[in-house]
Amino acid sequence: MQEIRLTPTSYIVLGLLELAGESTPYGLKQLVAASVGHFWTLQHAQLYTETERLAAAGYVTEQRESGGRRRRLYALTDRGREALVAWRDDPGSERAELREPSLLKLFFGADAGRLAEVQLPAHRQKLAEYEAIRDGMPGEVPDGPRQALDMGIRHEREFVRFWEDLAG
* CATH number, residue 53: 1.10.10.10
Same domain, 116 and 59: no
Q: Into how many domains does the chain fold? A: 2
- 94 domain residue, yes or no: no
Decide: residue 65, CB within 10 A, 0-12 exposed, 13-18 middle, 19+ buried.
exposed
Choose one of 58, 89, 120: the last residue of a domain: 89
- 3 domain residue, yes or no: no
Same domain, 72 and 110: no
Cα 102 versus chain centre, distance:
21
Q: Residue 53: give the domain boundaries.
A: 8-89
Apex 66 CA angle, 63 and 70, nearest 5? 75
Same domain, 83 and 146: no
Predicted local confidence at residue 73, as pLDDT:
94
97-116 pLDDT, tens digit per residue, is 777 889 989 989 999 999 99
Same domain, 14 and 85: yes
24-56 pLDDT, tens digit per residue, is 999 999 999 998 988 888 898 999 999 999 999
The SS3 assignment for 138 reads coil
